[in-house]
Chains A and B, each alone.
Chain A
Amino acid sequence: MHALVGENGAGKSTLMKILYGMQRPDEGTIAIDGAPVALHSPADAISRGVGMVHQHFMLADNFTVLENVVLGAEKLHGIGGKARARIKEISDAYGLGVRPDVMVEDLGVADRQRVEILKVLYRGARTLILDEPTAVLVPQEVDALFANLRDLKAEGLTVLFISHKLGEVLSVADDITVIRRGTTVASVVPSETDPRRLAELMVGSELPSPETRESTVTDTEMLRLDGVRLTATDVDGVERAVLDDIALRIRKGEVLGIAGVEGNGQAELVEAIMGMRDPDAGTITLDGTDISHAPTRKRREDGIGYIPEDRHRHGLLLEAPLWENRVLGHVTEAPNSKGGLLNPAAARRDTQRIVAAYDVRTPGIEVTAASLSGGNQQKLIVGREMSHHPKLLIAAHPTRGVDVGAQAQIWDQIRTARREGLAVLLISADLDELIGLSDTLRVMYRGRLVADADPATITPEELGSAMTGAASGHLESPAVETAGGED
Chain B
Amino acid sequence: GSSSEEATKNAGVGLAYDVGGRGDHSFNDSAAKGYDRALKDFKVKGKELTAKDGDTDADRYDKLASLAEAGYDPVVGVGYAWTPSLTKAAKKYPDTDFGIVDSVVDSKNVASLVSAEHEGSYLAGVAAGLKTKSDKVGFIGGTDSALIKKFAGGFQQGLKDTNPKASLDVQWVQVGSPKGFGMPDRGKDIAEGMLSNKVDVIFSAAGGSGAGAIEATGKKKGTWSIGVDGDQYYDKGLAPYKNAILTSMVKNVDGSVYDFIKSVVKTKKPEHGVQSYDLKRGGVGLSYSGGFIDDIKPKIETAKKKIIDGKIKVADTYK
Q: Do A and B share a direct contact in the complex (Cβ within 8 angstroms)?
A: no
